[in-house]
Amino acid sequence: MDKTLPHSMRLGAVGLVLTLAACVPDDGSLLVSARDYMAKQEFRAAAIQLKNVVQKKPALAEAHFLLSRALLETGDLDGADLELRRAIDLKYSPTETGLVRSRLLLARRDYAQVVKDFGDHLPAEPAAAAEQEAMLATAHAMLGERDEATAAVDKALAAQSGNATAIVMKARLEAASGDADAALRRLQALLAQAPNDVDALYLQGDIQLYAKADPAAAVASYRQALAARKDLPDIHARLITHYLAGQDVDAAQKQLAAMKSALPDHPQTRLCEAQIAFYRGDYAQARDLVQPLLRAQPDHVKGLQLAGAAELQLGGLERAESLLGRAVRLAPGDGDGRRLLAEVLLRKRQPAGALAAVRPLIDGGRPTPAVLSVAAQANVAMGNVAVAQAQFERAAQLRPQDPHLKAAAILAGAARGGADGEAASIALDRIAAADPGTSVNLEAISAHLARKDFDGAAKAIAALARKQPDSPLAPTLQGRLLLSRNDEAGARKSFDAALAKAPGYLPAADGLAALDVRQHRPEAAIERYQALLKQDPRNVQALVSLADLRRRTGAKPDEIAKLFGDAVASNPVDESARLAQVDFLVEAGNPAGALAAAQAGAAAVPTSIDLWYRVGTAQLSLGNREEAIGSFSKIVDLRPDRALGYIGLASAHFALQDLDTAARDARRALEREPDSIAAARLTASLAVRRQRPQDALVVARQMQAARPGDAYGYVAEGEVELAAKHWDAAAAAFRKALDKPEPSHAAARLHTTLLQARRRAEADKFAASWAGAHPQDAMFSMYLGDAAAAQGDLAGAEAHYLAALRAQPDSSAVLNNLAWVMMRENKPGALAYAERAVKADPGQAAFQDTLAMVLSHERQHARAIDIQKTVVARLPGVPKYRLDLARIYVQAGDKAGAKAELDRLAKLGNEFPGHDEVAALAASLGKF
């Protein structure tokens, strides 16, 4: 069959092809069309055209360059970077690619890189030089380098007086220095020439809103910018923030809908959605919504700030500090990040660190009322009451109707002590009632709880519930309050009510699980978390909570490890899951596994100082001291303002017996965080080790001056004097600590001091007096029991442990110790106490070890062996448990079982403190 077409049909086909070809734009017309779209600021349409061009002509440098610009404008930073690199590889204009790269780095908030790459390399052409200098000014400003920013913008205007980017930046600097009128005049002159300059309109709106307190004018400016170009994420976000500040949630939601229409996939859209969730008090949802953004852009400053604020509200202070610290490092000139970080540090009782965080904002000359409030609270905590009062007055003048400032001032007054506490609570209740928001309600609840005014707290929680009837927060708080008052039935009812409002609300589920465990129903708690995970298998916090519960209930290590592994796999950058996994492996006696997990975590979250600290401590535990120094140095590089890295370095240098360097590191830690108890104790102890007790006393007295209401400084002084055998001085310091509200272990240390001074009668008299006056001080009774047991006074130990048990009837530690003593006394009842201890805390290996020993003592060897073998399997790296297993085998007459365990222990040699007993038991095997 002839498959060729007839001549007439071939001509028709050719004509059809030519007609179709005429309907398809050629590459040149596509490029022209893309330029037209870009001129009209329709960048998404331009990007579509340009993608077609580069697909057909991948070597066309201009198309890649224009596509890079279009993608940058639409927020696709990775795509913009890729296309820009292709344009550079194809030798497109270095001047134009350099300008776009500067904009890209600014969009990524990589301000330091802008300064590094372009600070000394400016284009020759005046307009391009002006544009580059203007962007350098922006980078310097965001790095907090105001003088450099001013110099750069002045150079830009000298190169091209009409450069719009430079004019807007100049106005921004004028506004930041307090001359809002000059800034507005400059912007209005620019807008007269270019009425749709969106950057000028955006800044004009900000100045009208924040400096001139004219929200109507500001909204008009923002809306004019959006009318010119609807896909401006920052202006949508600014409007949403403004509406939320005015408590107009409906307007915020409408603006979010407009934003989603214009920018459905933009990271800022997700951020705004999270912001609205945060405003509504759903902090967990806000945190979850912002996570995809942070996975895609780990250095997104506003995302880090919102995630940190959510963690702050949820009580995750360590995670909040990590997120906000990172935000401040990325944008040190951003006031929101510094203020939020300061609030976290205040919650962590680190007022000096909080003040350091906001000091650049205070010194800058125009701190906001919120910043002044945080600084004032820090100053109150540090005893600088006069400074704090002045800051509160200044804040109140700036915003006299702000209920939050009133609340902060009241709380600061209460912090000074005395009868102010009750008045503060009453005043906070009044402010909360008048304020439509909820933050003052939470402050009022905290104030009542701090005073142990449970009735007042209940009323404050009820007020919060009336404001947020659909939120699970209030019933969850009520449940916790009732649980603290031992009303388990009421607590369960409240937690159930919270879950009825939000079935996946983890804090309420945690409360119910805690109740289940408290009522000896761990299976119910486990089922509760499993039900949550059935609904959301990747719920990281639920996985971590379940893993921790399984650990405490004695599950097999492999099962627990899998749960932690699943949590990490669900969100590899979740720092809290990584830390929990490492801590579990450390507790399980698996230092090598802990090191591997910590290193994997640090690789996934390289800015986490807590993970790097875990890496360093794991390296130290394995004897890798030089490597540990490297890990701790990484912390110092990341956060030179924090004590943690220097504390790690001091520990590593101490392990190397380099006491002088260790002492230097400890001093640096204390300089960074004068509030740090850990840094102060380390500094003092190293001074004592270096035979410099006077230096240690200086540190102790500094602690006393910084925290006059705390016992820490006096206990530290007592320890120094005790080490020097200055008995009277040590006793005097410990007695001063006893006068503080929370004396910690000062009573035990005073008793030890008197005993070491050979003042037994005085020690006995003090012990009887303190125990009689403080029958609920279980810690002191436990100390006396331990001391009596160590001296062989088993009857005395039993009496003291029973006193501790009266104070804490469900204390697993007390039950365990009591069981051990009664076993040694050959008294009945030891087994019942041991079983109660394990039931109270089934995951504690030490308690299972005691139970096994008691069972063996009562000749229940088979059960004892089963339990102890489980303990050894869980913690194979703890030789003490293997030795106890060998003892049980010996008692049971199982020579082969005992020999197998003793042979393994013998390989440890003299490094194992129980080596002599191992040898003695091995020798005894030949006797039966």
pLDDT in tens, 298-315: 888 889 999 999 999 998
- Three-state SS string over 442-472 comes to HHHHHHHHHCCCHHHHHHHHHHHHHHCCCCC
* Distance of alpha carbon 234 from alpha carbon 222, whole angstroms: 10
pLDDT of 538: 81
Q: With 90 as the cut, is the pLDDT of residue 32 above it?
A: no
Say if residues 879 and 908 touch (Cβ distance below 8 Å): yes
**pLDDT tens-place string over residues 919-928:** 889 888 875 5
Task: Give the CA diameter of the chain.
Answer: 127
Enumerate the H helices of 591-658 as residue ranges: 591-604, 609-621, 625-638, 644-655
Q: First CA to last CA across the chain, in angstroms?
A: 104
Q: Which helix (H) or strand (E) holds 640?
A: none
Angle 601-607-609 from CA coordinates, rounded to 5° = 80
Nearest to 304 by CA among 295, 316, 317: 295
**pLDDT tens-place string over residues 728-756:** 999 999 999 999 878 878 999 999 999 99
In a 13 Å sphere around the CA of 842, the CA atoms on its Cβ side amount to: 17
Q: With 90 as the cut, is the pLDDT of residue 786 above it?
A: yes
How many CB atoms sit inside 10 A of residue 530's CB?
11
**pLDDT tens-place string over residues 574-597:** 778 899 999 999 988 788 999 999
Angle 761-762-763 from CA coordinates, rounded to 5° = 90
**pLDDT tens-place string over residues 180-193:** 899 999 999 999 99
pLDDT of 450: 66
Q: Which helix (H) or strand (E) holds 878?
A: none
Q: With 60 as the cut, is the pLDDT of residue 618 above it?
A: yes
User: Does residue 68 lie in a domain region?
Assistant: yes
* Distance of alpha carbon 456 from alpha carbon 469, whole angstroms: 20
Q: How confident is the model at residue 4 (pLDDT cuts 50, 70, 90)?
A: very low
User: Does residue 768 lie in a domain region?
Assistant: no
Residue-by-residue DSSP string for 542-564: HHHHHHHHHHHTT--HHHHHHHH
User: Does residue 271 lie in a domain region?
Assistant: no
User: Does residue 179 lie in a domain region?
Assistant: no
Nearest to 542 by CA among 517, 514, 578, 505: 505
User: Does residue 30 lie in a domain region?
Assistant: yes
Residue that wins the pLDDT comparison between 742 and 320: 320
**pLDDT tens-place string over residues 387-421:** 765 776 677 677 766 665 566 555 545 544 444 45
Q: With 80 as the cut, is the pLDDT of residue 377 above it?
A: no
Residue that wins the pLDDT comparison between 138 and 17: 138
Please give the backbone phi and psi of residue 163, each rounded to the nearest 5 degrees, phi first: -65, 120
pLDDT of 581: 95
**pLDDT tens-place string over residues 512-545:** 998 998 888 889 999 999 998 988 888 888 899 9
Q: Cβ contacts of residue 134 below 8 Å, gap of 6+? A: 152, 153, 156, 163, 165, 166, 168, 169
**Across 358-362, 561-565, 870-874, least confident range:** 358-362
User: Does residue 51 lie in a domain region?
Assistant: yes
User: Does residue 755 lie in a domain region?
Assistant: no
pLDDT of 12: 35
Nearest to 706 by CA among 321, 353, 447: 353
**% of the chain residues with pLDDT over 90:** 44
Say if residues 233 and 269 touch (Cβ distance below 8 Å): yes
Say if residues 834 and 819 touch (Cβ distance below 8 Å): yes
Nearest to 843 by CA among 565, 567, 556, 579: 556
Say if residues 576 and 541 touch (Cβ distance below 8 Å): yes
Q: With 60 as the cut, is the pLDDT of residue 219 above it?
A: yes
Q: How confident is the model at residue 1 (pLDDT cuts 50, 70, 90)?
A: very low
Check which CATH number belongs to the domain holding 92 and give it: 1.25.40.10
Would you say the pTM of this structure is higher than 0.75?
A: no
Mean pLDDT of the chain: 85
Chain-centre distance for alpha carbon 107 = 25
Say if residues 924 and 902 touch (Cβ distance below 8 Å): no
Please give the backbone phi and psi of residue 418, each rounded to the nearest 5 degrees, phi first: 75, -150
Q: How confident is the model at residue 891 (pLDDT cuts 50, 70, 90)?
A: very high
Q: With 90 as the cut, is the pLDDT of residue 423 above it?
A: no
pLDDT of 814: 95
Three-state DSSP class for 759?
A: coil
Residue-by-residue DSSP string for 220-233: HHHHHHHHH-S--H
**pLDDT tens-place string over residues 481-511:** 898 888 999 999 999 999 998 887 788 898 9
**% of the chain residues with pLDDT over 70:** 89
Q: How confident is the model at residue 426 (pLDDT cuts 50, 70, 90)?
A: low
Q: Mean pLDDT throughout 680-692?
A: 92
The domain containing residue 60 runs over which residues?
25-104
Torsion of CA 92, 93, 96, 101, to 10 degrees: 50
Check residue 25 and report its DSSP letter.
Answer: -
Tokens of 772: 């009689």
User: Does residue 31 lie in a domain region?
Assistant: yes
Nearest to 577 by CA among 559, 604, 550, 555: 604
Q: Mean pLDDT throughout 871-887?
A: 90
pLDDT of 796: 94
Q: Cβ contacts of residue 695 below 8 Å, gap of 6+? A: 684, 687
Three-state DSSP class for 810?
A: coil
Q: With 50 as the cut, is the pLDDT of residue 780 above it?
A: yes
Q: With 80 as the cut, is the pLDDT of residue 429 above it?
A: no
Length of the chain: 928
Which segments within 50-145 are labelled E, that is strand? Answer: none
pLDDT of 428: 62
pLDDT of 5: 35
One-letter amino acid of 376: A
Q: With 80 as the cut, is the pLDDT of residue 3 above it?
A: no
Q: How confident is the model at residue 109 (pLDDT cuts 50, 70, 90)?
A: confident
Give the count of domains, the chain: 1
pLDDT of 18: 30
Residue that wins the pLDDT comparison between 106 and 911: 106
**pLDDT tens-place string over residues 262-287:** 888 787 888 899 999 998 888 988 99
pLDDT of 881: 94
